[in-house]
Amino acid sequence: MKRFFSCLVQAAAVVFLLAAPARTETLQTTDALGRRVELSLPVRRVACLSSDALEVMRILGAEGLAVAITDTVAHEPGFWGSLSGLPVAGTWQEVDLEMLAAIKPDLILCYAKSPGQELEARLGPLGIAVLRLDFYRPGTLEAEVELLGRVLDRREQARTFLAWHRRAMDQVRSVAAAAPRPTRVYMESYSPFVAFGPGSGGFDLCRLAGGENIAAAMTVPFPQVTPEWVLQNDPDVLIKAVPTPVYGDKGRERMEKALAAMRGRQGWTNMRAMREERVCILSGDLSSGPALAVGAAWLAKWLHPEQARGLDPAALHREYLERFQGVPLRGVFALPGE
C-alpha cells in the first residue's frame, strides 16, 4: 500500500511537470502614455499596428515575429517586401478586433493614441497584451527602441542601432554647436500655412539641428499662420514637410512639385530664404520616425552649410536603409540634396 502511494505521488509529480507551461518571465514597464504595462515574455507573435514600430522591428531583426500589419504597410511592397503580404488588421486608426482576436498575437504594438483604448478593453481579457510606443519623437525614440529590444529579446541589435543613431545625432549636435548663431526657420507641416509648433516632432527636430523656429512662441503643435507673418519674420530657411510615403520613383514628382509650389508662393519673392534659394523639402519618412537622425542631418546641412561640410545625410540615409532595413536607397527624400 505504501509503495502504491509512493508510485501515485511520483506519477502525479511527472504529470504536473509535463503539464506546466514553458518558463515565462514577466516584464513590467511603462508605455508612451505613462501607464504601467505587464508583459509576459518571450514574445513570439506581434501584431504591428504602426509602421514606425514595424520599422523598428526590422531594425532589431525581429520582423519575422510580425503576424499582422496595417494597410499602410500592405500598400508599400516596394519598401516592406514580404511583410506587405501579412494579414492586414486595419488602419493606423481603426482595427479589426475580431481578426486580432482570431490571430491571437502575444503582443500588439501601436501608437500611443491610436487606435483607441478599446484595444486593451476588448483584447486584454483574451490575454493579448498591448504596448503603446510612438517611435517618431526625437525625445523618446532611444528609450522606446531600447525597451522594444528588451521585450523582443533583441538587446544587442537595439544597442547597435542606438550606437549608430547617437553617433549621427552627435554629428548633428556638433554642427549646431559650431554655428555662430541659430538659423531662423519657418518649418511648415503637411498643410499650407500650418507650422510645426512647440510639441510637434518637427519642432523638436528643428531645435536639435540648431534651428530657431519662428513659431516658437506659439501655443499649439500645429498653429495656423498667415503668409504675412512668415514674411515679416523673414526666416533664413523655409522647410516644408511632405507626406509619406515617397520611397521609390513615385515620390520624386511629389517632392519636386512641393518644392516648385513653395518657391512660387505669392508675395514671398523678396524673403531672404527665397532670395538665397534656401527653400527645402523634407519627406515625412525622415522628419519623424526611426530614421529621424537622417532628417536631423538634412536639417543641419540646410541650416548650417558651412559647419556641416563633413556631414553627408545621403550617405547616412543609405546606411540606415541598407544596414537596418535591408533595402537599397531608392527615391528622393530631401530637396535640394538627394
Q: How near is the Cβ of 39 to other proteins at its closest, in Å?
A: 26
Q: Is the sign of the CA dihedral 177, 137, 154, 69 positive or negative? A: negative
Q: Please list the residues that pair with 187 across neighbouring strands.
A: 239
List, as own/partner pairs, every contact residues 157-165 make where C-beta atoms lie below 8 angstroms and the sequence separation is at least 24, other chains included: 157/59, 157/60, 157/61, 157/62, 158/59, 158/60, 161/59, 161/60, 161/324, 164/293, 164/319, 164/320, 164/323, 164/324, 165/141, 165/293
Pick the closer one to other proteins by CB: 244 or 307.
244
Q: Smaller CB distance to other proteins: residue 158 or 231?
A: 231
CB of 190 to other proteins, least distance (A): 5
Q: Which of 283, 288, 282, 285 is nearest to 135 (CA)?
A: 288
Nearer to other proteins, 284 or 290 (CB): 284
Least distance to other proteins from the beta carbon of 258, Å?
5
Rank residues 164 and 193 by Cβ distance to other proteins and give the closer one.
193
The residues of the shown chain that bind other proteins, judged by CB under 8 A, are 71-72, 91-94, 114, 189-194, 217-220, 222-229, 231-232, 242-245, 254, 257-258, 261, 266-270, 284
Give the Å distances, CA to CA, from 44 to 56, 79, 157, 200, 322. Answer: 16, 24, 17, 34, 25
User: What minimum distance in Å lies between the beta carbon of 332 and other proteins?
Assistant: 13
Cβ-based nearer residue to other proteins, 74 or 103: 74
Nearer to other proteins (CB atom), residue 167 or residue 257: 257
In the complex, minimum distance from the CB of residue 180 to other proteins, in angstroms, rounded to a whole number: 26
Question: Min. distance of Cβ 210 from other proteins in angstroms?
Answer: 23
Question: Closest approach of Cβ 174 to other proteins, in Å?
Answer: 31
Q: Sign of the CA dihedral 94, 197, 235, 300?
A: negative
Segments in the chain forming alpha helices (H): 2-19, 51-59, 71-74, 77-80, 97-103, 118-123, 141-151, 155-178, 201-208, 227-233, 250-263, 272-275, 284-287, 292-303, 313-319
Decide if 263 contacts 214 (C-beta within 8 A): no
- The residue (of 108 and 175) whose beta carbon lies closer to other proteins is 108
**Residue 228 or 306 with smaller CB distance to other proteins:** 228
Q: Are 99 and 87 in contact (CB under 8 A)?
A: yes
Smallest distance, other proteins to C-beta of residue 192, A: 5
Residue 95 sits at φ, ψ, to 5 deg, of: -125, 160
